Structure 1
Amino acid sequence: MEQVQVKDLLEAGVHFGHLTRKWDPNMAPYIYMERNGIHIINLYKTQAKIQETGEALRKIAASGKKILFVATKKQAKDIVAEKAENVNMPYITERWPGGMLTNFITIRKAVKKMAMIDRMKKDGTFNSLSKKERLQVDRQRAKLEKNLGSISDMTRLPGAIFVVDIKREHIAIKEAQKLKIPIFAMVDTNSDPREVDYLIPANDDASKSIECIMAAVESAVASGLAERKSDKADKDAKSEKSTAAKKEVKAESKDDAEVEAKAEPKVEAKAEAKAEPKAEVKAEPKVEEKAQPKAKKEAPAASNEEE
């Protein structure tokens, strides 16, 4: 991730805060000065926070988790939608659906309903409906697409959320806090920075400022995804090598087994050939020699009885 220059932040108007009477005292560390009743944000601190936030977002993206981008204000919605699509991340730019995170199962059912309507159109079931029913289904599909189309690929809770204007998106912030999901945000001088885990002190009302910050965020997420891709490629290469090595070992062991199998019968045959003649030679003479003297002794005894 490239470091954002203070000059670029200045040109984008990132330093312009809110009116001094609307400020939040907790933003005091990030305010440089007051001019014409408006607070000026310290851009050196903004630069440091962009670097810190970008590093954290890069790690989350590299781990394979999704980052949900939230921006429903007019100036930010198109910019955020474009940047999120570039890195293939889910986003909410229309009204925040209540329970989007805390009641995620119900939201997933609505997304599945959208997929079911698409299947009906493909398999021809949709054409068998009456004209009135087709109109109702089309309207329902359009409504779901508008509100939830951008999160159709989000099959589980996100690893983090990135918010533009935490005052406007307070419901999203509360839900993320309840589920202990890390919160990243652009925070202006009228907001409380304690509500988020990683803040970027910046003007969240001007489209140029939002564009500048979101470009840096997109770059961080893209580098995380690229890192994950390269790690995956390395793992695949290693696994291929290990499988090839295992195959080689198996082939070698098979060859060795075949060689042993061929060699063993010859050894046995030789052993049998050597053992058999010895047994025959020793056994036969002993039996004959012992049997003959007995026969000679028995013969005279029989002749005495007859006499």
Structure 2
Amino acid sequence: MYSNIRAPIRLVHKNGIRLNSTIVEASTNTIVNNSTIEKEKNEIIGNDEIRLNSNGLPFENSLEEISNMKETEFNEIVSKIENPTLNREEIVNSKFSKLLTLYSNRDKLKKTMTNSSSLLSNFPNLIPTDPLLPYSEAELAIRQRHHSKIMGNLGSNLKNIYKPHKLITNSPNINQISIEKLLSSGAHLGRSVELLNNNFQPFIYGKYKGLHLIDLDKTSTYLKNSCKIIEKIVENGGLVLFLGLKIGQLRSIKEAANKCNGFYVSRKWIPGSITNSLENPKPRIEIDMEDLPTNRELTTDEENKVIKPDLIVILNPENATVAIKEANQARIPTIGIIDSNVDPNLVTYPIPANSNSTRVTNLIVGVLGKSGEIGLQNRLQKVKEYKKSLGMEINEPFIKIDKISN
């Protein structure tokens, strides 16, 4: 019995000391006698009758009386006493709700940078180095990856970033070209004022820091005109040749030529490639409107005939004067990107822009190649419709019709 109520007795022991001690009231500065304390004790206990001990004598003090109580009697007395704190349940509930929110957001409250021991705990096969020694290469790689994961998203959000490869692989359509896009690529920057060609005067917009500024409205107009020309030539089965002799233009002209099933020349133009029949490629084959070989044997005149393109696109006309002369001699139309130091009359269809910038040339060639691709798709669609009208299959070559007619 005594062991079961040891703890409650200790708690009441403080109250017993308070009851048996004298209390001084601050308002009246009077001392409360022991009779008042006995009344309070009887009120707490809840019995008006005086309790007697086993010998039939009254208890000497409240501690002796409480120590001889049963556990049930003691619990009844404790339950009758009011809670010492006002709004105790509300305070407990608020504290519990705060702890609950902290527990639910425990992942967000973690420190962004953890120490090496907790960071490396995710890699059980890694042997950490001694704390006095520098980190190993594996530990440095793990910490660098953790740092980039935490701090990688911080900073400014970059939008509309220039990506050079997209001008070549995913070139825009002519309808997507705007003055803003030409301006951002630097197409308006001409050459020095001292290098101005007098025939280029209609395309000048103004001057800025010793440079001539090109009118981008006219650049957009002439570029759209050139796109229509190359689209119609490819649609009618014409051959387009792309010429880029500067470093960094190989990939752009190669991609544009592949889009419209054309050809390209880079690095160097061999003199006589158009005017001299000996420089033409041999052996030669005949292709149909789908650019597929017909496997027909050519005659001697056809073997010796000079092959020339139907259109030449020149990125830097100032570096391809020989090719321009041969094209003019063979009456081949040309499209060229003309800068402020070049005569626009050198080519048939000039495009006033900054030809010294690789970004500008890649943009313009990509747009021209996209237009040639549209013309090729239109031609293939017309061929399919023509085959359907003849009752042929889509993959059936035209050479079979000649054999049947013969």
Residues in 1 aligned to 2:253 and 2:354: alpha-carbon distance in whole angstroms:
15
1:19 to 192, 211, 218: 192
User: What is the CA-CA distance between 1:107 and the residue it aligns to?
Assistant: 2.8
**1:182 partnered with 2:333:** yes
Deviation at 1:32, TM superposition (A): 0.5
Matched AA of 2:385 = D
Q: What's 1:172 paired with? A: 323
Identity %, equivalent residues: 27
8 Å CA contact 1:41–1:202 kept in 2: the answer is yes
Separation in 2, partners of 1:58, 1:104:
28
Scaled by the length of structure 2, what TM-score is found? 0.47
2:226 is aligned with 1:75: no
Distance 1:210 1:167 in 2: 14
**Residue from 327, 338, 346 that aligns with 1:195:** 346
The separation in 2 between residues aligned to 1:204 and 1:96, in whole angstroms, is 18
Unmatched tracts of structure 2, length 5 or more = 1-172, 285-305, 393-406
What is the letter of the counterpart of residue 224 of structure 1?
Answer: G
SS across alignment from 2:383? helix
Counterparts of 1:79-94 in structure 2, within 5 Å, are: 79-94=252-267
| Distance in structure 2 (CA, Å) of the matches to 1:171 and 1:215 | 25
The answer to whether the 8 A contact 2:252-2:366 is kept is: no
- The residue type equivalent to 2:245 in the other structure is T
The AA in structure 2 aligned to 1:229 is L
What CA deviation, in whole Å up to 9, does each residue of 1:191-242 have, x standing for no partner?
111111111111111111111111110111011111101111111111118x
Q: What is the CA distance between 1:83 and its match in structure 2?
A: 2.2
CA deviation profile, 1:132-160 (whole Å, cap 9, x unmatched): xxxxxxxxxxxxxxxxxxxxxxx931111
Partners of 2:378 and 2:258 in 1: how far apart? Answer: 19
One of 380, 383, 398 as aligned partner of 1:229: 380
Give secondary structure in 1 for the equivalent of 2:391: helix
Q: As a proportion of its length, which structure holds more helix?
A: 1
Q: State which structure, 1 or 2, has the greater radius of gyration over its C-alpha atoms.
A: 2
Aligned length, in residue pairs: 198
Q: How does 1:26-105 map to 2 (within 5 A)?
A: 26-105=199-278
Q: 1:11-47, CA deviations, whole angstroms, 9 ceiling, x for partnerless residues?
A: 1111111111111111111110111111111001100
Q: Distance in 1 between matches of 2:264 and 2:341?
A: 24
8 Å CA contact 1:75, 1:205 repeated in 2: no
Report if the CA contact (8 A) 1:75-1:206 is conserved: no
* Structure 2 SS opposite 1:158: coil
Superposed structure 1 runs of 4+ greater than 4 Å apart: none
**Counterpart-to-counterpart distance in 2, 1:166 and 1:237:** 44
Matching residue's letter, 2:344? P
Q: Which runs of 5+ in 1 are unaligned?
A: 113-154, 242-307
User: CA offset at residue 94 of structure 1?
Assistant: 2.2
8 Å contact from structure 1 (residues 16, 40) kept in 2: yes
Q: Please, what is the CA RMSD of the aligned residues? A: 1.6
Relative contact order higher in (CA < 8 Å, ≥ 6 apart): 1
Contact 1:81 1:93 (C-alpha < 8 Å) held by counterparts: no
CA shift, 1:82, in A, is 2.6
SS of structure 2 residue aligned to 1:14: coil
